[in-house]
Structure 1
């Protein structure tokens, strides 16, 4: 068994063209190195760019003193490799296996499946312990859970007592709730630009403070404009945290498990339903003003420590995305993700196709959820059955969020067409609306709630994954905020359209069929996305690719 070891050698940088030119065509800028073998211990250049990519990678290893693993079948091949890289690795020669000189250099291991003359070296090692990105995910889940339990779902407990105190009509209260969506959507691009410039951490901390103060201010409310002001403050805070800040932090911290991390990070809201009973107890015991103050104070006391866990980028903690070690980053060619600016994204067809797809998905979610219980009551079901269907939908959406994110990762790794994910979500939403439109029995309501929950949950992680895939990371926050803003008209108009159908015909049936037809017509639109195939980001560049472009 022979081993190759790259020692730290002086190298001034740059790249010299070998005599006689390269033996391979100019490499594709998106070419990357693939790792294989046990524990990823075998790293070799991929395809037709082997000679050039290998040269760049071995030079990088030489600069950092990192052991390299090369699949050569005989000592003569090792000699030729050393000769090929003589300008950057003059002491790269076959040598017997030896223990690592220090604890920082991982021990060498044999290469599985290689011939008797195989050259092996140490596998890149991951950092020990749980990757810090998952602690961030836990903090995001906590914030999402508390906001959903205390306000998104819990405010319904305080809603009726507030209306009775001031003598306001239900329509005015519903208008206030709808007012949150355009406010949050309008500030989304501004918050995204702030996140791109200053990071997700200050946005998340500021968002938690705004949510807490907004809920607390309800306790001092004396007029309708104060209700609008409180809701606006909460809406801006939610956009700073769950709207843009969390998405940007997750896509920066995770690359291979991006969809899974997004699904788990936004699953806290699906777990909040059972805790609404605490809000019910608070209102019954202390009244709605005291309850609002307690819930807002709890947001500050619980949410701020969770927000302090957030870091904008893994480099802030001296880490790499996904917890990869420095040796693994070198083995992958030191990838760096580029991307479009927000202006370039607005000029790209993909942006508007994506906005239309998720706008249609928003019509079903925001439009039908507001009228779900009244519609089921109009069909002859009890209010308890309607509330149960809402609970089933919320719990199943947890499964949709996690599995939807994992599906995005799986399809990306297997080089499948990711456009099938939004198309599938639209098809599931259409099917669920058709089921509930013709529902006559209780089990059909359960089927509807399950399908609708999967579509709702899968929408949450899939959009930021596609935004990162299509437009890259440098302006991700701004572009994500813009896509959220484009969904606002759909989300606001959908419940109004359903209400209009009910006022004109005395039934929701035609309105539900309209939403189902809209979802069905959007399915082929999903395939208009010009989505690059392959694992990883189309803007991902390796060390070798960047050097080749500079030549």
Structure 2
């Protein structure tokens, strides 16, 4: 069936539906467990008497599993498309949450978390990023920022999850969360189509009958689109500099997620309610920064923007580490929250800009193996420094140095030249 051209031009570009579905999936995971896990910790410790080591090992296992399996997941996403992989992931995550509601031993707890982690990896950030990257080029940063905003919005919904936990108990909440993930998540995965070409469309909603569309098709057919294979990307220094810079950023962000409240309450003397206000403010600034950063990333040099953000992380951490009043804590909150939001969408958009979208899943998956070092090691180093010195100053100063080092990595991450391949011969491809 052929649609009138006017209808095609006025209809909402399907790529925005991909963004909306991805944002909702990430909001779902963040609100039900990702950012609500701290509340589960309190209830699990109360019921089972498990140590903090037992309970904190689960998120570490989740990070390790995510990083180690990312190369395989990236290949699967490129081979079978985000829709199929995410569909399986939603079911696995939902079943994992329902199994979590029945745990009685640490072993069952870890098995449940591995199921949840595997499912969320298959249908969460990486799958959504791969899908969004395929649908956008000129407005890629904006699209990625809106998809990532679901994580921040999910954090704001956590109080509702906590209310259900207090009312219904953690077992019923976990079981209901599993049902909700499957019931809501499965329909959402239907929107994660692999690429616009399979629907007769082009990235950014380019008119398929335009001269620009013809040039885009010819570039892809000839191999002159500039897209890298995984092997070609791995040979580029920029791949490693971006990965190391991203790891440095997560070194900082993951440490704040674990240690910020403890530092504010134990070292700075703030109440838990006041510390929670800082965390909420960071989440709000992250949301504002994510959206505004996405818009900016489509208009300015992404790499230079990230360099500035890493400098803001560094300055914010120094303020927090040596805070002597509420003003310095407010300064940290503004600098860290906005830098976190502005930088986030550029991490994915920068790789897509440098290496293209053809093998993006495999390239992003390989990069995650390096990135995960930051999110795993950061909290451990900050915690170890606290155990040795009795406060967080040394640990947070180390984080500030890592942020500064990250800015150097991004300064060095210059855009690579397109891969050199054999020239395109039209007759060899059956084109005359």
Normalised by the size of structure 2, how large is the TM-score?
0.91
**Structure 1 stretches lacking a partner, 5+ long:** 1-102, 107-124, 412-416
Deviations 1:162-194 (A, max 9, x none): 122222111221122221101011111101000
- Aligned match of 1:81: none
Instruction: Measure the CA separation in 1 of the matches of 2:424 and 2:309.
Output: 36
Contact 1:423 1:524 in 2 (8 A): yes
- Aligned match of 2:164: 282
Indicate yes or no: 2:142 matched with 1:260: yes
Deviations 1:369-412 (A, max 9, x none): 2000001111111111111111111111112212222222112x
- Aligned match of 1:434: 318
Which of 368, 389, 392 matches 2:256?
Answer: 368
Which of 247, 252, 257 matches 1:359?
Answer: 247
Instruction: Measure the CA separation in 2 of the matches of 1:410 and 1:540.
Output: 28
Contact 1:338 1:474 in 2 (8 A): no
Contact 2:21 2:192 in 1 (8 A): yes
Instruction: Measure the CA separation in 2 of the matches of 1:233 and 1:467.
Output: 29
Contact 1:397 1:456 in 2 (8 A): yes
Instruction: Measure the CA separation in 2 of the matches of 1:525 and 1:549.
Output: 42
- Aligned match of 2:75: 193
- Aligned match of 1:35: none
Instruction: Measure the CA separation in 2 of the matches of 1:149 and 1:514.
Output: 31
Contact 1:357 1:422 in 2 (8 A): no
CA drift of 1:332 comes to 6.2
- Aligned match of 1:528: 412
Instruction: Measure the CA separation in 1 of the matches of 2:304 and 2:42.
Output: 43
Matches within 5 A, 1:257-336: 257-330=139-212, 333-334=215-216, 335-336=219-220
Contact 2:26 2:125 in 1 (8 A): no
- Aligned match of 2:283: 394
Instruction: Measure the CA separation in 2 of the matches of 1:299 and 1:549.
Output: 49
Say which SS state the counterpart of residue 440 (structure 1) adopts: coil
Instruction: Decide whether aligned partners of structure 1 residues 549 and 450 sit closer, same or farther in structure 2, where only a CA change above 3 A counts.
Output: farther
CA drift of 1:105 comes to 8.1
- Aligned match of 1:381: 270
CA drift of 1:331 comes to 6.0
Contact 1:472 1:539 in 2 (8 A): no
**Greater relative contact order structure (CA < 8 Å, 6+ sep):** 2
**Structure 2 stretches lacking a partner, 5+ long:** none
Which of 163, 178, 181 matches 2:63?
Answer: 181
Contact 2:156 2:283 in 1 (8 A): no
Instruction: Measure the CA separation in 1 of the matches of 2:114 and 2:157.
Output: 24
Instruction: Decide whether aligned partners of structure 1 residues 489 and 273 sit closer, same or farther in structure 2, where only a CA change above 3 A counts.
Output: closer
Indicate yes or no: 2:341 matched with 1:457: yes
Instruction: Measure the CA separation in 2 of the matches of 1:331 and 1:246.
Output: 25
- Aligned match of 1:111: none
Instruction: Measure the CA separation in 2 of the matches of 1:157 and 1:389.
Output: 17
CA drift of 1:418 comes to 3.5
Indicate yes or no: 2:393 matched with 1:509: yes
Instruction: Measure the CA separation in 2 of the matches of 1:155 and 1:467.
Output: 30
Say which SS state the counterpart of residue 215 (structure 2) adopts: coil
RMSD: 2.6
Deviations 1:264-292 (A, max 9, x none): 01101111233223222222222111111
Contact 1:210 1:236 in 2 (8 A): yes
User: How many residues are aligned here?
Assistant: 421
Deviations 1:61-102 (A, max 9, x none): xxxxxxxxxxxxxxxxxxxxxxxxxxxxxxxxxxxxxxxxxx
Instruction: Measure the CA separation in 2 of the matches of 1:231 and 1:400.
Output: 31
Instruction: Decide whether aligned partners of structure 1 residues 549 and 458 sit closer, same or farther in structure 2, where only a CA change above 3 A counts.
Output: farther
Normalised by the size of structure 1, how large is the TM-score?
0.72
Where does structure 1 differ by over 4 angstroms across 4 or more consecutive aligned residues?
Answer: 103-106, 329-332, 538-541, 544-551
Instruction: Measure the CA separation in 1 of the matches of 2:117 and 2:79.
Output: 21
Instruction: Decide whether aligned partners of structure 1 residues 105 and 222 sit closer, same or farther in structure 2, where only a CA change above 3 A counts.
Output: closer
Instruction: Measure the CA separation in 2 of the matches of 1:352 and 1:159.
Output: 36
Instruction: Decide whether aligned partners of structure 1 residues 294 and 320 sit closer, same or farther in structure 2, where only a CA change above 3 A counts.
Output: same
CA drift of 1:530 comes to 2.4
Matches within 5 A, 1:216-231: 216-231=98-113
Instruction: Measure the CA separation in 2 of the matches of 1:134 and 1:192.
Output: 22
Instruction: Decide whether aligned partners of structure 1 residues 134 and 296 sit closer, same or farther in structure 2, where only a CA change above 3 A counts.
Output: same
- Aligned match of 1:95: none
CA drift of 1:314 comes to 0.8
Larger radius of gyration: 1
- Aligned match of 1:26: none
- Aligned match of 2:16: 134
Matches within 5 A, 1:41-52: none
Deviations 1:496-551 (A, max 9, x none): 11111111110001110111022113323322122169xxxx5799xx99869999
Which of 403, 413, 430 matches 2:292?
Answer: 403
Instruction: Measure the CA separation in 1 of the matches of 2:166 and 2:405.
Output: 47
Which of 234, 249, 254 matches 1:346?
Answer: 234
Which has a greater percent of helix? 2
Contact 2:90 2:119 in 1 (8 A): yes
Indicate yes or no: 2:308 matched with 1:424: yes
CA drift of 1:104 comes to 6.7
CA drift of 1:330 comes to 4.2
Instruction: Measure the CA separation in 1 of the matches of 2:148 and 2:348.
Output: 12
